[in-house]
Structure 1
Amino acid sequence: MNSIGVGIIGFGFMGRTHLEAYRRAASDGIDCQVREIYSLDPPDAPVAGNVDTGADSVIDLESLGIRWSQQIEQLLAADDIDLVSICTPTDTHIDLAIQALEAGKHVLLEKPVALSSAEVERLQAVDDATDRLCMPAMCMRFWPGWSWLHETIRTGKLGAVTSAHFQRIGASPGWSQDFYLDETRSGGALTDLHVHDADFIFASFGMPTEVSTSGTRFQLVTQYRYPDGPASVVAEAAWYPDPSYPFQMRYRVGFETSIADFDMSRTDSPLMLHLDGATQVIDLPEGNGYEGEVRHILEAVTAGADRIDPSLGEACQVLRILEAEGASIDAQKPITLR
C-alpha cells in the first residue's frame, strides 16, 4: 500500500508521545506520515506526564506539514488518513473509536480502552463488522525489558515462574486532575495505572481463577491466584498525594533457579538477571513501549493483517479482571473469576 496516513485525536502528553513514535518509525524506514491532529486544546497548550517519552513539549506542526483541526468529522473524513491514534480521556474512547471504525480507519486506542468490559464488548461488536484493525495500546507488552520477560516466560528458557511481583507507583497526576482524580471518569489508579500490570499478568499467565485486592482504587495491592501456575503473583499500584514522590516501575520475577529484576530508576542497567551465583546485566534495545506499539500496528496495516494482538477480546478480559479487583476492594474478600 502507499504511505500510511495517520491522524491523532487528542494532543496532550499522550498525543505528543504518539506523534514522536510515528516520527521515529518514519525515520527508521516505515512508510508513514502524521497528516492531521484533532484537539480541543491549542497545539501550544502545556502538557505533563509521569514518564519521559522523548516527545517535544513545543512542536511546530506547520513545519512538519501536519494539519490542525478542531472538527473531528474533518479528520475522519480525510481520504489521506488510514490510521487514527485515539489519545483522549478514557470516558471518550469507545464512541470515538466507533466513529473512526465506521469512517473506515484503523484504530490505535490508548489504554485503558474503557471503564467496563461491557463497553469494550460494544466496541468489539462494531470492529467485528468491519475489515479494520482496532488495537488496544498496551505499551508494556512492547517495553524493553518487559517484552524480554514475556518472551522468557513464554519459551520457558529459564524454567517455570515460581513468583512474580509488579510495582507501579508514583505521585497523583498533577495535570488534568478534573479527569484523573474523578474515579467515575478515570477509574482511579486501579483502572488508569494498574491496567498495565493487569494486562501484562494476563498476557503472561492467562486469566486468574481468583483475585484478592486490598486498599482503595487509588492505592492497592492485588494477589492473583493461578492453581496451575506461579505460587505467588502480586501487583501493587498507587497514586500518592505528595507531588514530590517519584514514579517507579519495577518487577521481580523468580524462576526455578534465577531471578529477573527490573527497576526503571536504574537507567544504565534496568534489567538484571541473577543466575548461577552471578548478576548479569541484560542488554535492552533503545526506545520505549509507545514506539513498539506504534510500529506493531503500522506493520500490521502494511501487511494487510486481518487481526492483531493485543486484541479487543484481550482488553475485555483485562477489564473483567479489574472489575473483579474493584469488587474485591468493595467486598473486602477474594473474588472468583472462573
Structure 2
Amino acid sequence: MKVAVVGCGTMGTVHGTDYSLLPGVELTGVCDLDRETARDLAGHLETIAYFSFEDMMAEAEIDAVSIALPTHLHKEYVMKAADLGKHVICEKPIALTLEDAEEMISYCQEKGVRLFIGHVVRFFPEYADLKRKLDSGAAGEPGVAHLKRVGSHPGTAKDWYNDFDKSHGVIMDMMIHDIDFARWAYGEVREVFALNRRSADQDYALVTLRFESGAIANLEGHWGYPGAFSTAAEFAGKSGIIRMNSGDSNSLKLLRKGAAKASASRVQVPKSPSYQDPYYYELEHFITCIREDKEPLVTAEDALRALEIVLAALESARTGQPVRLPLKGGIAHA
C-alpha cells in the first residue's frame, strides 16, 4: 500500500511517522507549502518532499493519502484526492459545516474511493477498554457521564487555531473527541446545551448532551489550561461507575516548574501508555479496511454526526438556549 501525507505539521508528522513503521506500507511522499517543513519531515522519514499537492499526486505512486491540514482546507483537498481516485484518510473534524461534510461523503462515494475520518480516541486502549466494559453491562443501565479534556492553547503554536472562522475553537477541535466517544457509548443525542468563554489565550467550554435513551453526558474542554494535557471520563449507571483518567496510567509522575509553559510552544498530541501510539492503530485499521473492503470502527457518517453535535453546541453557546437534534432544516431551540 503506497501512501502520502498532505501537511507536515504536528499531525502530518504523526501520520508520516506511523506509516513509516507499518508493515506492508510505503510512504511515497510528504507535501507542505512550507519547503523547510516538508524537507525536514521527508529527510527524517527517508521519503520525497513535495511543495505542491498537484506535483505530488502527479509524480508519486499513491493508493491513499492522509489529509493533515487545518480544518477549513479539508473539503478542498479531500475532493481533489477523490478526483484522482485516491482513498482518503482525513484528520478530524471532517469539516466546518454539515453541508461540506455531506458533500465530501457523497463525492467520495461517487468517485468510488473510501473516506476515513481520524476520530482517534476510539483507538486509545484505555477508551476502547472503557467501551467494552460499558457494553458488557458492568455499570448497568446508562445514567450520567462526565468527560474532561484539557491542554495548552494550540494557537500559541499555529495561528490558524486563533481564527474562530477557521477552527471553531475548543468545542470543534478538541471536545469533538469526547463528543464522538460519548455518542459511541450512549447512542444518538437528542438535545444539546453549551456554555463557552473565549479570550486571547483561553477557550473554555461546558457542554451537556441529553441522549435519546434519557442518559446525560457533561463534557468539559479547556484550551489554555496551565497544567499538562490530560483526559478523564466517568460513566455512571444503575449498577456501578466506570472511571478512566490519563494521569493514572503514568508509571512515573514528574512535576517540573515551567514545564507547562514549554509545552505550549507546540500543538499537543494525546499520549497513551500502549506499545504503539493510538494513531498507529488507527492508521493500521484504516489501511486494513481499504485492503479488505471492511467497514471501519468509525465511519464518515459517525464524523458527520459528531460535527452536527458540535454545531448544535456552538449554537447553544451563542444563544444561551438548548438546541434539539437533528439540525436539518434549520436549528430548533428547545
TM-score range, shorter chain: 0.7 to 0.9
Partners of 1:165 and 1:253 within 8 A in 2: yes
Partners of 2:31 and 2:38 within 8 A in 1: no
Q: Deviations over 1:280-310 (max 9, x none)?
A: xxx97433321121011111112134x4342
Match for residue 288 of structure 1 among 277, 287, 295 = 277
Structure 2 partner of 1:239 = 223
Structure 2 partner of 1:202 = 183
Q: Deviations over 1:109-132 (max 9, x none)?
A: 001111111110110120121221
Letter in 2 for 1:292: Y
Instruction: State the aligned residue count.
Output: 303
Partners of 1:35 and 1:66 within 8 A in 2: yes
Once residues 44 and 191 of structure 2 are traced to their aligned partners in structure 1, the CA distance between those partners, rounded to angstroms, is 53
What is the Cα deviation at residue 265 of structure 1? 2.2
Is 1:214 the counterpart of 2:195? The answer is yes
Percent of pairs with identical residues:
25
Once residues 88 and 311 of structure 1 are traced to their aligned partners in structure 2, the CA distance between those partners, rounded to angstroms, is 20
Structure 2 partner of 1:20 = 17
Structure 2 partner of 1:102 = 83
The 3 A distance-change label for structure 1 pair 324 and 164 is: same
Is 1:37 the counterpart of 2:30? The answer is yes
What is the Cα deviation at residue 206 of structure 1? 2.1
Once residues 129 and 337 of structure 1 are traced to their aligned partners in structure 2, the CA distance between those partners, rounded to angstroms, is 28
The 3 A distance-change label for structure 1 pair 258 and 16 is: same
Cα RMSD after superposing both structures = 2.4
Letter in 1 for 2:325: L
Matched residue SS, 2:318: helix
Runs of 5+ consecutive residues of structure 2 not aligned to the other structure: 253-271, 327-334
Alignment of structure 1 residues 263-278 onto 2, 5 Å: 263-268=245-250
Once residues 64 and 212 of structure 2 are traced to their aligned partners in structure 1, the CA distance between those partners, rounded to angstroms, is 41
Matched residue SS, 1:129: helix
Match for residue 314 of structure 2 among 317, 322, 326 = 326
Structure 2 partner of 1:297 = 286
- TM value normalised by structure 2: 0.83
Once residues 41 and 285 of structure 1 are traced to their aligned partners in structure 2, the CA distance between those partners, rounded to angstroms, is 32
Alignment of structure 1 residues 131-280 onto 2, 5 Å: 131-216=112-197, 218-230=203-215, 232-240=216-224, 244-268=226-250
Once residues 261 and 284 of structure 1 are traced to their aligned partners in structure 2, the CA distance between those partners, rounded to angstroms, is 17
The 3 A distance-change label for structure 1 pair 62 and 102 is: same
Matched residue SS, 2:296: coil
Alignment of structure 1 residues 77-92 onto 2, 5 Å: 77-78=58-59, 80-92=61-73
The 3 A distance-change label for structure 1 pair 317 and 336 is: same
**Greater percentage in helix:** 2
- TM value normalised by structure 1: 0.82
Once residues 87 and 221 of structure 1 are traced to their aligned partners in structure 2, the CA distance between those partners, rounded to angstroms, is 27
Structure 2 partner of 1:310 = 298
Once residues 332 and 174 of structure 1 are traced to their aligned partners in structure 2, the CA distance between those partners, rounded to angstroms, is 26
What is the Cα deviation at residue 227 of structure 1? 4.9
